[in-house]
Amino acid sequence: MFQIIEESSNGTEISGVSEYLHNAIGVSSKATYQLLDSHEMLTRLLKIEPQTGRLYVDGRIDREALCSQSSKIPLTYLDPEASCVKQINILATAQTENNQEVSVQTIPIKLVIQDVNDNKPSWNLAGKQLDDLPILEANILEQGSGNKVLVPAAYDPDSGRNGEISYRLENYISSSSSGANERDQGPAPFTISGPISGMLQLTPFQPIDYEKQSVYDLLLIASDAGEPTNVGRAHLRVNVIDVNDECPVFTQQVFTPPGGRGISERTHPGKVILNVTAIDGDASERNSRLTYSMVPSSNRLIGEIFSVHPDGRIILRHWLDYETLEPGLMASSTSALREAPPTEGKQFAFFVKATDSAPPPYEKTGTALVVIPIIDENDERPIITSRFLGSPELVKHGEAGVITENSSVPVRLAYIQARDPDFEGRDSVECTVPDNENLSLRRVTPFTHRSSSDDVNMPPKNNDFLLSLEEPVDRETTKVLQVRIHCVDEANNTADLLINIRVLDVNDETPTFLRPVFYFSVNENTKVPSDGNGANGTLQGYRIGRVIAYDKDEGDNAKIKYGLLPTIEIEEPKLRPSLFPLSDYGQEVAPTQAFDLFRIDSITGELFALRSFDAEKEKLIKLKVIAVDQPSDPTATSHTGTASVYVQVFDMNDWSPVFHQVVDNTKPNQQLYAPSILDEPTTVDSYQFSIKENLPAYTLVGRISAIDPDVSFWGVIGSVNNSNGADGSRALRSVTIQFAQGTAPYVENAFTIHSASGQLRTTGPLDREAYSNYTFNVVAVDRGPVDGISRTSTAGVTVLVEDENDNDPVFVRPAAEVADTRGPEESFFEEEALSPLSQSIESPPTSTTDTDHIPVVAVSLPVGSGSVDVSSNQIPRPLIRIEAQDPDAGANGQIRYAITSGNTDEIFYLDPNTGSLVLKTVLPATKETSNYLLQFEACDQGSPPRCANPARLRIVLGRPAASKSGSPGGSVYPTTQDTNLYLQSNRFPGNSLASVKGSVIGYPEVWDGESYGDFGTEWTSSRFKWEDKHRHLREEYEKSGVSYRRSGVTVSEAVVICVAVIFAVFLCAALVLVYLVRRKSIYFSIGGKQKLKGE
């Protein structure tokens, strides 16, 4: 046995324990020690060094609490004579020298707790108190100097002399009473002795007279024999009563339950255990009626479990639990414990008293002992405790279970103890691990030492087990090993203990990225922040994304650092427009490393770009990132995980559309891409198309094509190039073609542009005579793929209208007659029903009814003998220029003239190119006057040719009888007002008209470079008015381009006139309607006033 002094300070070593443990397991073995039975109070107040086995105090050691421990019943009584001996169990885990096996032993140690005087005597009574002192009451008969009164003794749980109590009496001086009264009381006439059977005897040493003093208030002082002495005090009140000379006597000195076996711990509360009886020798009924009660005791446990009915029935008040009952607390006093018969089990012993019916204070009492044995039943579940094995630092001295993953099996995890509270632990218990196949639980035999000769108690059964791991455990799948220990005793009472064993991690897992490939994107031309340099001057770049990896390990083993592998792959766009500017497109992207383009944050995994990118050069960038774990163990091996990162460069609209030449306008799609970067582009800034006039609407003029060099549209157009041509218009959807802002309305009215395909088409037939060419600008507008910003380019377009022979020549002079004839093709202009030419001959020499409207040219020949003097250069003589107009161009507008009839004498010559009519011979001498009706033809040189309506001209040649003096030569008629029939002087440079005399106009002396001499002969003839039939045609084809206007009313003018007339009619009708309405309202107003007057 080892001794420990009560109230020892924390850290006090219990001597001899360490040497005892080393001797028990062997000095050569290396062992670690743990305390078992952690549910015991004493075990929790001690601690042991795992390596040395030294046992120390780690809490307050209270002998009185430890030796009277009960989880259900409070402390009330402890026998001071009993010694306090407690047993603890120590688990020793010894490892052999070759470290192959581990020996597990349980070593019991008994500790004797030595008492110190730390308790003062006290009366544990629940009665009244006065001045914080318990009140003890006693009744004593008068006149009886030898009467003895029993008073409860004080209780001191200390042992030995510390628990020896001496008593003395003093007068009680109350704080509420006056000192004079207390002094008159005098010394108390009592002596105190005992205790006997837990009771003190109060004996008067002189007669007591009730009439003199009925109550004595005394101070009972109890002092123990310890050093220093502890003193307890109580207020003792002694009541003096009259004499009652017979005391009740019990029929038995000791009462037990019927049968003598006692009662079971499973007895229900409320059951009558036994009946006690007593006899009173007084003859009178007044003093012989008895009432029974329990003798007051400082042990309140008896009163809580049993009650004594006044008729003598003893009733169970509380459930019993054999295992929690302490023998020292089952007796009401030391006397009851001594007088009770001995037994191996547990029993209650207490005194009961019988009190007669004499009025106080004359009643008398008798006492008897009641002994109630308790029968133990196997009704308790086993108590399971565990102590974990392993390194003391990891298992926290056996309190926490840990195991390292992937450890070699078998591994001993914990030492399991199962104790059955029934039968003092002698019941056998079986334990298993039902839920874990990879664990085993084997019964072990603990080390037992030789017991002392005076230890006659039977040792408990061996119910210790060793928990072991039979298969390796993976922390990533099982972080905590939950173990359920299931135990069953012989009565099939079961108990379960759930323990958790934490699985320690080792660095056996490789970091894994969330996905094998991370896809990020970056806009091209993104600028690197100028203030993005780190503290050490490194370029920070701009963020494009974050990669995330995880490690199934925990702690430092799960810490990850990110990095980049140097290898990098840059994909260029597969298709390149053949129009892409070579100067801006490098042959190849220079090879580089990932560190030159990107940076990764080693902690967060954020990826940064260190420069801007060009989508037209770098379509996709592929690189690899790594994640490396950081184990804290220097001997552990690091693991590395890898993932791919694809960075797509998003195209921005940084290129304006580029116009290119379309080789074949008939094909809807052209080859816009070339397989090689060395192909020469064919870009244009202007287009020129030609189209024939009079073609129907929606005729294709040509194609205007533009391509967006931005890479976003390369693949779209390339895929269309590989498809059939019918879908080719979709190739240019990225660029729309439209007229430039400010385009002339006549251009927009004449043409339309398909915004996607760029096809330029007519909206109707074109008229070259109206516009021979069109010049305008077109705009190509793209659409930004990401930012939505559009860029534009402008190109010039010229459309030349090719001429068609769609106009008939029209005579200007002389005017053509009205006719319905047409050329080989329909004339563009329709003739009017009536000729606009109004002609009249006032007094022609000859006239007929069908030639009234034919222009007449009178030629006065020189006066002579009838023959012409050739030397005078008067023959050939120009008469007039025949003129016709054709608005067509080229050969279609070139006119050739001819005389078709009337030149009977072949005296006239008409130049086919210029239209000059010349008198090439003289008038025959036989004729004084000749009248010729010439018919002219004007045809263009188109294929087939078109001809004008024939024109006729009457020429009268004559020799007048007399001529005015001074006339230089012949004259013609009409006069100056009709000069528009003649060639203007500025048409023939260097020539001048002849002088005009009177109303006669002279012919020019020089015509087309030939001199004809003077014409002095005057012709007086009737005047007539010559008007041009086709004046509107001459106005139509002036070089100024001003449109002609017909002499009649046009359709638009007729519509305007009709609308004006209709509007006027509606206006008149509205005015009339307003007039009628106002008139009717005036009428009703007047009628209403008259009606009011009549009323």
SS (H, E, C) 974-1025: CCHHHHHHCCCHHHCCCCCCCCCECCEECCCCEECCEECCCECCCCCCCCEE
Q: What is the pLDDT of residue 373?
A: 92
> 331, 349, 375 — which closes off a domain?
375
pLDDT for 636: 84
Q: Which residue has the tokens 């003839």?
A: 1021
- The bridge status of strand 840-841 relative to strand 759-762 is unpaired
Q: 943: exposed, middle or buried (C-beta count within 10 Å: 0-12, 13-18, 19+)?
A: exposed
- What's the pLDDT score for residue 753? 96
**Separation between Cα atoms, residue 288 and residue 358, nearest integer Å:** 8
The answer to the question of residue 1089 being in a domain is: no
- pLDDT: which is higher, 581 or 711: 711
Q: Decide if 794 is inside a domain.
A: yes
The residue among 348, 656, 632, 661 whose CA lies nearest residue 507 is 632
Question: Does 178 fall in a domain?
Answer: yes
pLDDT of residue 801: 94
Helix (H/G/I), strand (E/B), else coil: 577: strand
Q: What is the pLDDT of residues 522-536, one digit of tens each?
A: 998 899 887 766 656
Whether residue 280 sits in one domain with residue 171: no
Same domain, yes or no: 757 and 894: no
For the segment 802-829, the average pLDDT, to the nearest whole number, is 66
| Rounded-to-integer distance, Cα 401 and Cα 411, Å | 12
pLDDT (tens digit per residue) in 421-450: 776 666 788 999 998 888 999 988 766 544
* Stretch (H or E) spanning 718: helix 714-721
pTM: 0.50
Taking residues 127-141, report their average pLDDT: 79
Task: Let me know whether 867 and 1001 are in one domain.
Answer: yes
pLDDT of residue 180 exceeding 80: no
Of the candidates 650, 670, 693, which is a domain's last residue? 650
Q: Domain for residue 121, yes or no? A: no
Please tell me the predicted confidence (pLDDT) of residue 431.
Answer: 93
CB atoms within 10 A of CB 577: 26
The answer as to whether 824 is a domain residue is: yes
Q: Are residues 876 and 932 in the same domain?
A: yes
Q: What is the CATH number of the domain that holds 865?
A: 2.60.40.60
Instruction: Tell whether 1030 and 931 lie within a shared domain.
Output: yes
pLDDT of residue 577: 61
Asked whether residue 1084 is domain-assigned, the answer is: no
- If one compares 210 and 104, the residue with the highest pLDDT of the two is 104
DSSP tag of 422: G
Which pLDDT does position 873 carry in this prediction? 46
pLDDT digits 0-9 by tens, 3-34: 888 888 888 888 888 888 888 887 566 788 88
Average pLDDT, the chain: 76
Residue 732: per-residue pLDDT: 40
Q: What is the pLDDT of residue 144?
A: 62
Q: Given strand 199-204, what is the order of strands in its sheet?
A: 149-152, 199-204, 190-196
- Structural domain for 818, as ranges: 810-1036
pLDDT of 1005-1048, one tens digit each? 333 343 333 333 333 333 333 333 333 333 433 433 333 344 45
CA 776, distance to chain mean position in Å, is 53
Task: Using pLDDT thresholds of 50, 70 and 90, give the confidence band for residue 35.
Answer: confident
Question: How much is the pLDDT for 608?
Answer: 95
Mean pLDDT, residues 930-944 taken together? 90
The DSSP bridge pattern shows strands 951-958 and 856-860 to be parallel
Angle at 793 between CA 791 and CA 797, to 5 degrees: 150
Same domain, yes or no: 232 and 260: no
Give the pLDDT score at 208: 80
Beta strands in 668-783 (DSSP E): 673-674, 686-692, 700-703, 705-707, 735-739, 751-753, 759-762, 773-782
Interatomic CA distance for residues 322 and 263, integer angstroms: 11
pLDDT, greater one: 383 or 984: 383
**Residue 747 domain flag:** yes
**Residue 746 pLDDT:** 94
327 sits in which H/E element: none
Q: Is residue 589's pLDDT more than 80?
A: no
Residue 310: which pLDDT band, with cuts at 50, 70 and 90?
very high
C-alpha count within 13 angstroms, C-beta hemisphere, residue 785: 20
Asked if residue 1079 belongs to a domain, the reply is no
Please identify, among 1018, 1036, 1054, the residue that sits at the C-terminal boundary of a domain. Answer: 1036
- Whether the ω angle into residue 950 lies within 30 degrees of 0, i.e. cis, is no
- Cα separation, 729 vs 948, in Å, equals 48
Q: Strand pairing partners for 723?
A: none
Residues 22, 9 contacting (CB under 8 angstroms):
no
Pair (892, 939) in one structural domain: yes
803 versus 1089: the higher-pLDDT residue is 803
Mean pLDDT of 486-494: 88
For residues 930 and 881, membership in a common domain is answered with yes
User: Which structure tokens are listed for 12?
Assistant: 């006090």
Residue 803 φ then ψ, to 5°: -80, 145
Query: Of all helices (H) and strands (E), which one includes residue 22?
Result: helix 17-25
Q: How many structural domains are present in the chain? A: 7
What gap in Å lies between CA 330 and CA 299, rounded to an integer? Answer: 8
* pLDDT exceeds 50 at position 136: yes
Mean pLDDT of 639-662: 90
Structure confidence at residue 759 (pLDDT): 94
682 plus 579 within the same structural domain = no
Domain identity same for 683 and 634 = no
- Binned at pLDDT 50, 70 and 90, residue 1004 comes out as very low
* Mean pLDDT score, 711-719: 58
pLDDT at position 925 is 65
Which range (147-151, 453-457, 890-894, 983-987) has the least confidence?
Answer: 983-987
Least confident among 42-46, 511-515, 536-540, 848-852? 848-852
Residues 265 and 233 in one domain: no
Which of 102-111, 284-293, 956-965 holds the top average pLDDT?
Answer: 102-111
> What's residue 961's pLDDT?
52
Contact 572, 635 (CB under 8 A): no
pLDDT digits (tens, 9 = 90+) for 829-878: 333 333 333 333 333 444 444 555 788 888 877 655 444 444 444 567 88
For 130-134, 548-552, 1085-1089, which range has the lowest pLDDT when averaged over its residues?
Answer: 1085-1089
% of the chain with per-residue pLDDT over 90: 26
Q: How far apart are CA 1058 and CA 1052, in angstroms?
A: 10
**Does residue 236 sit in the same domain as residue 253?**
no
- 282 pLDDT band, cuts 50/70/90, is low
**Tokens standing for residue 415:** 């030492």
In DSSP notation, 1068-1091 reads: HHHHHHHHHHHHHHHHHHHHHHHH
Pairing assessment for the beta strands 102-114 and 85-95 based on DSSP bridges: antiparallel
Share of the chain above pLDDT 70, in %: 72
Averaged pLDDT, 369-381 = 85
923 pLDDT higher than 50: yes
